[in-house]
Structure 1
């Protein structure tokens, strides 16, 4: 019978995604057929699964950690925020509609059938499934119809391990408080807890563990130190954007304007991994740094809204100055669309604004269309004559004279556009920076010499290192052996 455990957190960004990935790699190295599962995810960092639909980037990474193809069933419900109050809803890899927060709460019970169908698909043939919750089970105002945390755990009869983040402070209160406010039937689902992101001498927290167990009666599965290797993995939760620090001075500074609806910002991770590159995430209200050699405009879940905010921040003027200084600009997906003369939305797919002037750096126009392109892709860089691979997730059709100078050949078809002087280009291909040969030639053209890292190999090594660290600090036998009933 397939075993399963579910990691739920005392809040968002407590490290559940990384812990699940590390435990998946650990279990796989022990010879177990292990699979990840997340009933509901909210993220604009999406991936195209191996079976051709959209899932959270985190579940794609966790499947990689397991050494298995990714599937839409590993993340059956994906919410992609488009505004402060509404999200696009993706079920089993396909868009089924949009809903605002209160509307979605009413929809959740209907989505449980899809969640449970996917659950059966994932656990079939597996020895172990490691499930990741979302947010916190302590959000008892959302308990009715819940499919992300205790609602799923109870329905699937999966034991829960509660994860607390000691780095943010108040970890004892967060775990004990969760115990205090959970209804008894949910409290019984929790088999124990673990502490994450500890810095320093772990023995100093022995009294803390005793206090938590004393208040709750829950078993401790251990204390996880700050996992340095986790920094080499793709970041999934946009919460991390709030605290990304500017790095030290290096050979090349790359500026990235942080759009309100930034999507697939893990495109930037291979650049961040380069020791001679400083990637600066520019927040609203800040200026694009004058000493940047490259500006990358990332993907967006709301191109028109983010383009409007781009101008409000004065980044359009900064971008013009950047080009006058000899800088370069790359736009990816929504960022590519913004580089053109106009973006039109005749059907109101993104909202009430039907047309907006673009940044005018490429002689192209984009028209939003209802049909969404979602696929893994092979490609070839026209600019640097190297092989690429990645994926497409976008709405819209882009045309114009500069498309006669494509940036890439995508699945055999020209894609993207390049400015006449070659200093501005855009493409719909996500993941192009992940190609080591492309990244080396790009950085070399911007003055960075000395070779580049092998990004995918670094991710694999990071997963192996995390698995080894977790094996040394957690009661792994206890965790992997948990059963209900």
Structure 2
């Protein structure tokens, strides 16, 4: 079978593009096709490590899992990791390429298209079907010049487009029809049809809406996808997912507080804890103090540790955390959070802004020096309590100091990692994905008095992907979608 490709763009961010691609990847894989996900450009601080030591957006790693293949840097050749409101780190084919403000990136974009097309063709060489995900909104005509994420890529690669609108947020007719109105005719011609996602209620009530959109745009109505609660069990693509409602846990025995920092990274570390019925994960927003009755406070990963530590202090959370520790509470610092727990953080090269050194929270006797070298590796080992685990590291900087004489873990083939306070209540580690490991998560729950875990997290993710694939297969004509895919140019 000649490799073919079909692209899914959206009327906006968080309309469900990532999950639609993941569900279709699983559905088409189950039908016997070799499927690969592809996103030319992603903007997210939620990243995954690939087997070859690169990094891609976490959503593409989930899509690769849905397709039953290992994540590859070619699945997301351009990853933008925001470091401020106007600037980001640019990762190209898994490696740090540059750091640029948004205005400067617009000039850089055209130089990145060759990498995008190279990665796309690499995937095409090993696939029957490449499912492409756009970024943000297809109607961002202000960013159209030099575009590599949406219509710029679609036209350069000759890939037809299906446009997705989200009815749950309201205004889906206007957003779909409006997209047709603002797109240049050559771009609009790339769109073969549209999907309406997250519908609640009787589908018959929106039949005239689907017909009206089709009439006004000239695009085929390819399906109305009902809201699927099981989708909430899958990792969110970006920080927008942190704002979503959480189901009440009336029987929760453990309360974990997580301050939401401006540049929070790899927040899917929280997902396995969220999946536990006995655990309530409290996402603490700015303007809200850390709760006094939390059993554990987790300081999450951060793309910019020093600025996020300043934001932490500006909220008064350092005072709240000190009171939590005085009351006998426990603290876990993950990656950037681990760096914050130390005595100091030095940035001699100005990696995160101005060069200099700032005091840490002083809860672990360690110091961190930031550098431009990024460590991106899967790891496995034994934690201080004798339990095996698998995880990954993704960080800049080296942490040293007397506190490391009590390491959190011993990494196979590498040595000691992390630090534990003398009383065992303060822990810092660079290990991401720690709670995905059922045995490790269960040990933490026991340690905190919530009992062992009865959850097989990896199986739960697989079940959710299957449910998503079943859902899409029931409401979309997969053969029709496959027929829309175009051969990949040599």
Give TM-score scaled by structure 1 length: 0.98
DSSP 3-state at the match of 1:370: strand
Q: Give the equivalent residue in structure 2 for 1:171.
A: 172
Q: Could you tell me how far apart the structure 2 residues matched to 1:329 and 1:30 are?
A: 46
Q: Could you tell me how far apart the structure 2 residues matched to 1:295 and 1:463 are?
A: 30
Q: Could you tell me how far apart the structure 2 residues matched to 1:394 and 1:27 are?
A: 35
How far is the alpha carbon of 1:343 from its aligned partner?
0.5
Q: Could you tell me how far apart the structure 1 residues matched to 2:422 and 2:317 are?
A: 22
How far is the alpha carbon of 1:325 from its aligned partner?
2.1
Q: Could you tell me how far apart the structure 2 residues matched to 1:465 and 1:33 are?
A: 20
Q: Give the equivalent residue in structure 2 for 1:158.
A: 159
Q: Give the equivalent residue in structure 1 for 2:62.
A: 61
How far is the alpha carbon of 1:245 from its aligned partner?
4.2
Does structure 1 residue 290 correspond to structure 2 residue 292? yes
Does structure 1 residue 464 correspond to structure 2 residue 466? yes
Q: Give the equivalent residue in structure 2 for 1:455.
A: 457
Q: Give the equivalent residue in structure 1 for 2:205.
A: 204
CA contact (8 A) 2:5 2:130 kept: yes
Q: Could you tell me how far apart the structure 1 residues matched to 2:158 and 2:291 are?
A: 52
Choose the corresponding residue for 1:350, options 345, 352, 364. Answer: 352
CA contact (8 A) 2:7 2:162 kept: yes
Structure 1 residues 269-294: Cα deviation after superposition (integer angstroms, max 9, x where no partner) = 00000011010110111111112101
Q: Could you tell me how far apart the structure 2 residues matched to 1:310 and 1:184 are?
A: 48
CA contact (8 A) 2:349 2:355 kept: no
Task: From the superposition, tell whether residues 458 and 55 of structure 1 become closer, same or farther in structure 2 (CA, over 3 Å).
Answer: same
Larger mean CA deviation between 61-70 and 447-456 belongs to: 447-456
Q: Give the equivalent residue in structure 1 for 2:249.
A: 248
Q: Could you tell me how far apart the structure 1 residues matched to 2:17 and 2:51 are?
A: 23
CA contact (8 A) 1:246 1:280 kept: no
CA contact (8 A) 2:441 2:453 kept: no
How far is the alpha carbon of 1:238 from its aligned partner?
1.0
DSSP 3-state at the match of 2:373: coil
Aligned pair count reads 484
Moved over 3 A (4+): 243-249
Q: Give the equivalent residue in structure 2 for 1:379.
A: 381
Larger mean CA deviation between 233-242 and 65-74 belongs to: 233-242
DSSP 3-state at the match of 1:290: coil
- The equivalences for 1:16-415 within 5 A come to 16-245=17-246, 247-249=248-250, 250-352=252-354, 354-382=356-384, 384-411=385-412, 412-415=414-417
DSSP 3-state at the match of 1:234: coil
Larger mean CA deviation between 226-235 and 341-350 belongs to: 226-235
Q: Give the equivalent residue in structure 1 for 2:12.
A: 11
CA contact (8 A) 2:195 2:224 kept: yes
How far is the alpha carbon of 1:247 from its aligned partner?
3.7
Structure 1 residues 382-401: Cα deviation after superposition (integer angstroms, max 9, x where no partner) = 1x311111111101110111
Q: Could you tell me how far apart the structure 1 residues matched to 2:344 and 2:48 are?
A: 27
Q: Could you tell me how far apart the structure 1 residues matched to 2:69 and 2:52 are?
A: 12
Give TM-score scaled by structure 2 length: 0.97
DSSP 3-state at the match of 1:320: helix
CA contact (8 A) 1:364 1:401 kept: yes
CA contact (8 A) 1:332 1:430 kept: yes
Larger mean CA deviation between 215-224 and 145-154 belongs to: 215-224
DSSP 3-state at the match of 1:371: strand
Q: Could you tell me how far apart the structure 2 residues matched to 1:377 and 1:231 are?
A: 28
DSSP 3-state at the match of 1:368: strand
Q: Could you tell me how far apart the structure 2 residues matched to 1:63 and 1:407 are?
A: 31
How far is the alpha carbon of 1:125 from its aligned partner?
2.5
Task: From the superposition, tell whether residues 247 and 289 of structure 1 become closer, same or farther in structure 2 (CA, over 3 Å).
Answer: farther
CA contact (8 A) 1:86 1:100 kept: yes
CA contact (8 A) 1:9 1:164 kept: yes
How far is the alpha carbon of 1:379 from its aligned partner?
2.2
How far is the alpha carbon of 1:434 from its aligned partner?
0.7
**Structure 1 unaligned residues grouped into runs of 5+:** none
Q: Give the equivalent residue in structure 2 for 1:444.
A: 446
Q: Could you tell me how far apart the structure 1 residues matched to 2:481 and 2:277 are?
A: 37
CA contact (8 A) 2:135 2:149 kept: yes
Choose the corresponding residue for 2:480, options 473, 478, 481. Answer: 478
DSSP 3-state at the match of 1:372: strand
Q: Could you tell me how far apart the structure 1 residues matched to 2:442 and 2:172 are?
A: 43
Q: Give the equivalent residue in structure 1 for 2:429.
A: 427
Q: Could you tell me how far apart the structure 2 residues matched to 1:429 and 1:449 are?
A: 23
Q: Could you tell me how far apart the structure 2 residues matched to 1:133 and 1:236 are?
A: 13
Q: Could you tell me how far apart the structure 2 residues matched to 1:372 and 1:450 are?
A: 35
Structure 1 residues 419-457: Cα deviation after superposition (integer angstroms, max 9, x where no partner) = 011001010110111110011011011111253311111
DSSP 3-state at the match of 2:371: coil
Q: Could you tell me how far apart the structure 2 residues matched to 1:101 and 1:369 are?
A: 23
